[in-house]
Amino acid sequence: MAAEMGIPSGALERIFVRLDRDDVARSCAVCREDLQGDDRRRWLEARRRDFHRRVGGLREPGPPLGSQGPPRADIRERAGIQRGGDEHADQHGWRYFTDMAELHGLAPTADHFAAMVDLLGRSGRLFDAKELLESMPFEPDPVAWMTFLTACRIHGKLELGEAAAERVYELDPSSTASYIAMSNIYAAHGMWEKVASVRKKMEERGLKKLPGLSFIEVDGKLHEFSSGGKYHPRTDEICEELTRLHGLMRAAGYVPDTKAVLHDVSEGEKETMLLYHSEKMAIAFGLVSSRGSGEPIRVVKNLRVCSDCHTATKFIARIAGRDIIVRDCNRFHLFSSDGKCSCGDYW
């Protein structure tokens, strides 16, 4: 529960050291740390090594292949793959992946393969990720292909992305995520006819993109914001704060990422649309509602944070001198006051 709330590393460490021999709770702590992805948490590696010793050791033979192995070891190994380490993550993750069968006697599941595909994608090794997908001992599920498609979107790989999207369309025709990802890839390449064709395909299949909504709690009351929505009673203050922040961000080197706008409009219109994204409005409201406070601002969004809002929030956190915690549909983003995000700019 503590990690789900985005509680910072110091508090989580104090909780972790009290877990003693509760291996299930320790597994949860390790997995939650991976979800938060804060690369400052060097202590996690020491805890992970200690945990491995407690449940069988990294270099001790495991039970027969196919058995359950150490308590919750399948979950722990998935976390190890996803985390990988702060440097050479793909190599460390691959070690965890191969250790499963060779040392622990655990057959990798679809989740483990998807975690490894994700890690290879983070490292830019997309062809290796595709080869791993094609070599799986069972048919890759939609999660694995969607993980690969996400990597293609981040790295701008058009042809690989199209191939991955087709697989997701076939395996999970009701999912909108693959269509949105391909729209982003096409928009980044300026292929507006393709963007329109993706929208048309969604309409033909009765699929609708969810509106982006962001939520923030202030003084015990939950406030909801939508992109471009100006129905909040303090809209004027929020817009004034956004304009102020925009000027300071520009002066600090911020450049709006207009590729995040999936509409064929002018650059000026795109910048205006980006300025009033729901998470920016929620963050601005949090700032004007807590001037003089050093407490973190916490925002929840129902969709994935767009690339522009991610960059902008790093600038805002640094300008305001405040930590900003955003929980989107994929993960936590812990934007620190030094202008960095815990996800390492990969989400």
pLDDT tens, position by position, 59-95: 443 343 334 444 444 545 445 445 444 445 667 778 8
Q: How many other CB atoms are there within 10 angstroms of residue 223's CB atom?
A: 19
pLDDT of 86: 45
327: Cα separation from own chain's centroid: 9
Q: How far apart are the C-alpha atoms of 11 and 41, rounded to whole Å?
A: 12
DSSP at 69: -
pTM: 0.75
Clarify whether residues 203 and 217 are in a common domain: no
CATH of the domain at 197: 1.25.40
Q: What is the mean pLDDT of the chain?
A: 81
**Lowest mean pLDDT across 32-46, 208-222, 302-316:** 32-46
Average pLDDT over residues 268-285: 95
Within-domain flag for 321: yes
In the chain, the number of structural domains is 3
Clarify whether residues 260 and 273 are in a common domain: yes
Q: Which domain holds residue 162?
A: 134-209
Within-domain flag for 279: yes
Within-domain flag for 89: yes
Q: Residue 156 is encoded by which pair of tokens?
A: 């701008």
**Of 64, 65, 89, the residue nearest 79 (C-alpha):** 89
Clarify whether residues 173 and 62 are in a common domain: no
Q: How confident is the model at residue 158 (pLDDT cuts 50, 70, 90)?
A: very high
pLDDT tens, position by position, 117-150: 988 988 889 999 999 999 999 999 999 999 999 9
Clarify whether residues 222 and 201 are in a common domain: no
Clarify whether residues 104 and 196 are in a common domain: no
Average pLDDT over residues 206-216: 92
Q: Could you tell me how many helices (H) and strands (E) the chain has, helices first? A: 15, 5
Clarify whether residues 217 and 327 are in a common domain: yes
Among 93, 108, 123, which residue terminates a domain?
108
Average pLDDT over residues 1-9: 54
46, HSE (Cβ side, Cα atoms, 13 Å): 7
pLDDT of 287: 97
Clarify whether residues 101 and 164 are in a common domain: no
Within-domain flag for 329: yes
Within-domain flag for 129: no
Q: How many other CB atoms are there within 10 angstroms of residue 125's CB atom?
A: 17
Among 178, 209, 240, which residue terminates a domain?
209
Q: How far apart are the C-alpha atoms of 315 and 194, rounded to whole Å?
A: 32
Say if residues 122 and 91 touch (Cβ distance below 8 Å): no
Q: How far apart are the C-alpha atoms of 252 and 160, rounded to whole Å?
A: 36
**Lowest mean pLDDT across 46-55, 110-119, 150-159, 316-325:** 46-55
216: Cα separation from own chain's centroid: 19
**Lowest mean pLDDT across 25-34, 136-145, 206-215, 248-257:** 25-34
pLDDT tens, position by position, 313-339: 999 999 999 999 999 988 899 999 999
Q: Residue 87 is encoded by which pair of tokens?
A: 């440097």
Clarify whether residues 327 and 224 are in a common domain: yes
Within-domain flag for 242: yes
Among 188, 209, 230, which residue terminates a domain?
209
